Amino acid sequence: MPTRNLMRGLLLAWIAFSQSSTVFAQQNWTFPDFSATQVFASRKAEMAMKVYRASSAVRVERSAAISTVYVTANRMVYNLTTYPDNSHQCVSMKPEQARMLPSPLQLILGRIVSRKSAGTEVVEGNAAKIEDVEVEQLDGKTIHSRVWLGDDVQGIPVQIESYVGNLTLRAVYRDIAVGAPDANLFRIPDRCTPFEKMGQVAESHVVK
C-alpha cells in the first residue's frame, strides 16, 4: 500500500541516520501548547498522525495502538502500546536508543543556535512567516529546519521541513487547536520497561 511504502521509506532512512547521531531536542520556542494532525505527504500517499505539544514534551500517536512521548525534562522517550485485550506496555529509552520515525515538531524543540527570517508564504490557506533554524542536539550536533509559523494560530508551525543527513522530513499541521492538551496524554505508567531489558521481558510482564 502507498501509505505503508511511504512510512517504510521514511523509517529506513531515519534509522540509517540515527545509527551515528543522537537526535533529540530541548524546548526553545514561545508558541503556545497545542494539538494538531501531522501529515507527511508524498505524490502517492499521505501519512497522518495526531501530535500534542505540552511545554517541553511532545506526544505522537502513530496509530490507535502505538504512541511515543518525548519528554525533554528528563531526556527520555517512552513508547506506549495498547493491545487488543486492552492491556498496555510501556518501554522507556534514551534518545540515542530511539529508532522510531521522529516528528519534525520534536526535532525543532531545542536550543536554537541560529534563526533567520526567510520570507512569508501561504500554506494550505494559512499565512505564515518562514524561518530557517539550526537546533542543537544533545550530542552537540545541529539539525537544520525550515519552519512556517502561522499568523492566525499564534505562531504555531503549520509546516516544518527538517533535514537530517540525506533525509528530508516534511510535514504539514492541520486542525490546529490552541491550548494545553489533556495532561493524561503525557502521564507515564509507573511500570515502564527500560529498552535495554526488553529481551528479558516475558509476555506475563505486560501491564494490564
**Tens digit of pLDDT for each residue in 39-64?**
998 777 889 999 999 988 999 999 99
This prediction has a pTM of: 0.79
Q: With bands split at pLDDT 50, 70 and 90, how would you rate the model's confidence at 133?
A: very high
| % the chain with pLDDT above 70 | 80
Neighbours of 88 (CB within 10 A): 15
pLDDT of residue 173: 98
More confident residue, 35 or 113: 35
CB 78 within 8 A of CB 187: no
| CATH number for domain 2-205, candidates 3.30.1760, 1.10.287, 1.10.20, 2.50.20 | 2.50.20
More confident residue, 91 or 142: 91
pLDDT of residue 20: 41
Q: Is the dihedral of CA 172, 91, 163, 152 positive or negative?
A: positive
DSSP H helices, the chain, are: 2-18, 104-108
C-alpha cell belonging to residue 152: 492566525
Enumerate the domain spans of the chain: 2-205
* Closest residue by Cα to residue 141 from 183, 182, 111, 104: 111
Give per-residue pLDDT as tens, 142-195.
899 999 999 999 999 999 999 988 889 999 999 999 999 999 999 999 999 999
